[in-house]
């Protein structure tokens, strides 16, 4: 008996629990049925938005690259060793700031030589000017004296000897000057040959490294180009030596001619002593020397001017040993270091102005016709999510790219905080067309079924009515519709259930206020679209 109770008692308890669970489910199902019936009779909860009159704008989106408006590659005008270069990539530089200095020792020597040449030319001119007036007076005196007799001839004889001495001295000075130029040209040739030897060593070393695979072919080409430049420099220096030697030969020949002519003039003047009658005629013929002397003075002045120009040129070369920044900007490339040889063919630094930047956009032909100069555009960059930069169209290339058949449109963006860097990519949006005063509804208000497009309009009686519509122009938020709706009417943009024509609704949230009133929105109900 006891064992039987132990078996039946658990079965009885389990049966009671099962019966209670079944009863509980029946109660829950009845409650759910009552709630379902209540919801079927309750108004549908909707969100509304007003019919509006606004512009519909079409825009063109594309991706463009950022570049600097000013990109200056700074290279020296002369070849030389870099003595000073302290700026690096990313450094800020100001307009007029010294960036690079080339060793100026050789150029300084040219300046000193040019200064000496100016001083010598000015001395010769001063000496000639001091003797000009006495010479004119002497010629007139000789004419008067020759009328009286032999004494005038003696005075002329003395004058010729004096002139001979001065002319020989002048010709000798020309020889000395030409000889100095020969030495200078030979020195320049030696320097050019040294530069050529240095370029040959650099080329051989670079070519050896290239064959071993340590440098690129571009480095070999650069070294080869530098070698060719130095060979050309040696050729120029050789030509200058030959030119200076020719000048020296000419000056020596002129000195010989001057001496021979001076001796001849002295002998002629001496002959005047025995030709008293002819002495007067000869003395009067000396008046022709005045224009020649003036021409000599003019030639000496020209020599002074030429020497001064050579000095100015040498000083300009000395000034070319220092390079300054032509603009406010940033150093974006440094291709040399102190101690290396710089040449006019190889930029040392690149400086870019980025207080404003350009964005270049490829635009199809049909779009380019609708973009105007001065038009604004919006540009966003992946580096600055959520931020939009305002740009302006400043240039439009009238010719299409021959490969892509697209036109380049250039935008400008103020970049005072230098956030934008050359090489960045920007996503630009440019308005290409605007339709004024369109009657629009939000895009989510449009529904479509087998009968076509329609919207659900809610009146003051809070009943939904179906209105067929025809879609027109649209943008990313709104769609224009035909005259089936009037501005101010409320349309459903979100509902709890699928609405039927004439169904009662309850306002759960709106974008334009309650129907028939001017109250404020209660906030949008629910989440996404229907």
> What's the pLDDT score for residue 391?
94
- Residues 136 and 290: their CA atoms lie apart, in Å, by 7
Instruction: Specify the DSSP element, H or E, that contains 118.
Output: helix 105-148
Beta bridge partners of 426: 64, 381
Number of structural domains in the chain: 4
The rounded mean pLDDT for the chain is: 81
Query: Is 30's pLDDT higher than 50?
Result: yes
pLDDT digits (tens, 9 = 90+) for 279-314: 566 655 655 556 666 777 888 888 889 988 988 988
Looking at the structure, tell me whether residues 282 and 168 fall in a common domain. Answer: yes
pLDDT digits (tens, 9 = 90+) for 148-192: 666 666 666 777 777 778 778 877 888 888 888 888 888 888 888
Residue 207 belongs to some domain of the structure: yes
Which domain, by its residues, includes 384?
62-66+352-435
> What's the pLDDT score for residue 181?
82
Looking at the structure, tell me whether residues 394 and 409 fall in a common domain. Answer: yes
Tokens of 215: 């440098």
236-245 CB burial, b ≥16 within 10 A, e <16:
ebeebbeebb
> What's the pLDDT score for residue 359?
94
- Residues 457 and 119: their CA atoms lie apart, in Å, by 102
Looking at the structure, tell me whether residues 405 and 441 fall in a common domain. Answer: no
Looking at the structure, tell me whether residues 337 and 315 fall in a common domain. Answer: no
Average pLDDT score over residue span 312-329: 88
51: domain CATH number? 2.40.420.20
Q: Which residues contact 34 (CB under 8 A, 6 or more apart)?
A: none
Residue 250 belongs to some domain of the structure: yes
Looking at the structure, tell me whether residues 274 and 315 fall in a common domain. Answer: yes
Looking at the structure, tell me whether residues 217 and 286 fall in a common domain. Answer: yes
> What's the pLDDT score for residue 242?
84
Could you identify the residue written with the tokens 């991706």? Answer: 63
> What's the pLDDT score for residue 284?
56
Looking at the structure, tell me whether residues 342 and 387 fall in a common domain. Answer: no
Looking at the structure, tell me whether residues 227 and 290 fall in a common domain. Answer: yes
350-366 CB burial, b ≥16 within 10 A, e <16:
bbbbbbebbbbbbbeee
Better-predicted residue by pLDDT, 152 or 446: 446
Residue 410 belongs to some domain of the structure: yes
> What's the pLDDT score for residue 114?
87
How sure is the predictor about 66, in pLDDT bands with cuts at 50, 70 and 90? very high
Better-predicted residue by pLDDT, 503 or 522: 503
Contact (Cβ atoms closer than 8 angstroms) between residue 13 and residue 462: no
386: domain CATH number? 2.40.30.170
Last residue of a domain, one of 320, 336, 364: 320
Average pLDDT score over residue span 19-46: 70
Last residue of a domain, one of 417, 435, 453: 435
Q: Which residues contact 378 (CB under 8 A, 6 or more apart)?
A: 388, 389, 390, 391, 428, 429
Q: Lowest mean pLDDT: which of 14-23, 73-82, 371-380? A: 14-23
> What's the pLDDT score for residue 227?
83
Residue 414 belongs to some domain of the structure: yes
Query: Is 527's pLDDT higher than 50?
Result: no
Task: Give SS3 for 287.
Answer: helix
Average pLDDT score over residue span 454-470: 87
Q: Lowest mean pLDDT: which of 3-12, 194-203, 247-256, 408-417? A: 3-12
Q: For residue 409, give the DSSP letter.
A: E
Last residue of a domain, one of 435, 463, 478: 435
How sure is the predictor about 43, in pLDDT bands with cuts at 50, 70 and 90? confident
184: domain CATH number? 1.10.287
Beta bridge partners of 459: none
DSSP 199-254: HHHHHHHHHHHHHTTSS-HHHHHHHHHHHHHHHHHHHHHHHHHHHHHHHHHHHHHH
Looking at the structure, tell me whether residues 263 and 135 fall in a common domain. Answer: yes
Tokens of 359: 């964005």
Query: Is 341's pLDDT higher than 70?
Result: yes
Residue 37 belongs to some domain of the structure: no
pLDDT digits (tens, 9 = 90+) for 103-122: 888 888 888 988 998 898 88
Query: Is 525's pLDDT higher than 50?
Result: no
Residue 29 belongs to some domain of the structure: no
Query: Is 38's pLDDT higher than 60?
Result: no
- Residues 217 and 227: their CA atoms lie apart, in Å, by 15
Residue 11 belongs to some domain of the structure: no
Residue 4 belongs to some domain of the structure: no
Looking at the structure, tell me whether residues 216 and 275 fall in a common domain. Answer: yes
Q: What percent of the chain has pLDDT over 70?
A: 83
Average pLDDT score over residue span 197-225: 87
Task: Give SS3 for 307.
Answer: helix
Looking at the structure, tell me whether residues 275 and 401 fall in a common domain. Answer: no
- Residues 206 and 215: their CA atoms lie apart, in Å, by 7
> What's the pLDDT score for residue 408?
92
Query: Is 520's pLDDT higher than 50?
Result: no
Looking at the structure, tell me whether residues 192 and 283 fall in a common domain. Answer: yes
- Residues 258 and 168: their CA atoms lie apart, in Å, by 6
């Amino acid at each position: 008996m006891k064992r039987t109770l132990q078996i039946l008692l658990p079965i009885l308890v389990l049966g009671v629990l099962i019966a209670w669970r079944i009863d509980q489910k029946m109660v829950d199902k009845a409650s759910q049925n009552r709630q379902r019936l209540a919801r079927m009779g309750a108004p549908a909860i909707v969100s509304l938005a007003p019919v509006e009159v606004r512009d519909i704008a079409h825009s063109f989106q594309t991706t463009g690259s950022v570049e600097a408006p000013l990109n200056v590659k700074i290279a020296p005008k002369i070849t030389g060793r870099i003595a000073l270069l302290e700026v690096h990539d990313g450094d800020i530089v100001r307009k007029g700031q010294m960036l690079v200095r080339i060793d100026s020792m050789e150029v300084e020597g040219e300046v000193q030589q040019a200064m000496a040449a100016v001083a010598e030319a000015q001395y010769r001119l001063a000496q000639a000017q001091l003797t000009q007036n006495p010479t004119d007076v002497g010629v007139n005196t000789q004419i008067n004296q020759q009328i009286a007799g032999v004494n005038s001839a003696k005075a002329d004889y003395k004058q010729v000897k004096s002139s001979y001495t001065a002319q020989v001295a002048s010709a000798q000075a020309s020889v000395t000057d030409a000889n100095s130029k020969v030495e200078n040209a030979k020195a320049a040739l030696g320097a050019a040959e040294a530069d050529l030897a240095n370029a040959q060593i650099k080329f051989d070393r670079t070519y050896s490294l290239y064959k071993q695979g340590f440098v690129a072919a571009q480095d070999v080409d650069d070294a080869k180009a530098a070698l060719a430049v130095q060979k050309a420099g040696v050729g120029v220096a050789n030509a200058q030596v030959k030119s200076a030697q020719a000048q020296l030969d000419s000056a020596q020949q002129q000195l010989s001619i001057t001496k021979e002519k001076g001796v001849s003039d002295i002998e002629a003047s001496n002959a005047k002593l025995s030709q008293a009658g002819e002495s007067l005629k000869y003395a009067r013929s000396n008046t022709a020397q005045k224009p020649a002397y003036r021409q000599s003075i003019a030639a000496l002045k020209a020599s002074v001017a030429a020497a001064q120009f050579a000095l100015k040129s040498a000083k300009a070369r000395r000034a070319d040993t220092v390079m300054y920044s032509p603009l406010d900007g940033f150093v974006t490339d440094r291709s040399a270091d102190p101690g290396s040889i710089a040449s006019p063919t190889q930029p040392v630094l690149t400086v870019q102005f980025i207080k404003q930047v350009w964005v270049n956009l490829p635009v199809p032909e049909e779009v380019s016709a609708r973009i105007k100069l001065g038009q604004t555009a919006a540009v966003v960059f992946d580096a600055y999510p959520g931020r939009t930069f305002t740009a302006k169209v400043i240039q439009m290339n009238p010719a299409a790219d021959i490969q892509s058949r697209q036109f380049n449109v250039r935008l400008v963006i103020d970049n005072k905080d230098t956030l934008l860097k050359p090489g960045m990519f920007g996503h630009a949006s440019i308005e290409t067309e605007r339709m004024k005063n369109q009657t629009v509804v939000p895009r989510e208000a449009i529904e479509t079924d087998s009968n076509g497009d329609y919207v659900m309009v809610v009146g003051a009686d809070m009943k939904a009515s179906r209105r067929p519509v025809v879609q027109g122009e649209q943008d990313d938020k709104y769609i224009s519709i035909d005259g089936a709706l009037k501005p101010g009417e409320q349309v459903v943009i979100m509902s709890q259930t699928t609405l039927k024509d004439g169904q009662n609704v309850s306002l759960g949230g709106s974008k334009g206020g309650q129907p028939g009133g001017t109250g404020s929105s209660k906030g949008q109900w629910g989440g996404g679209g229907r």
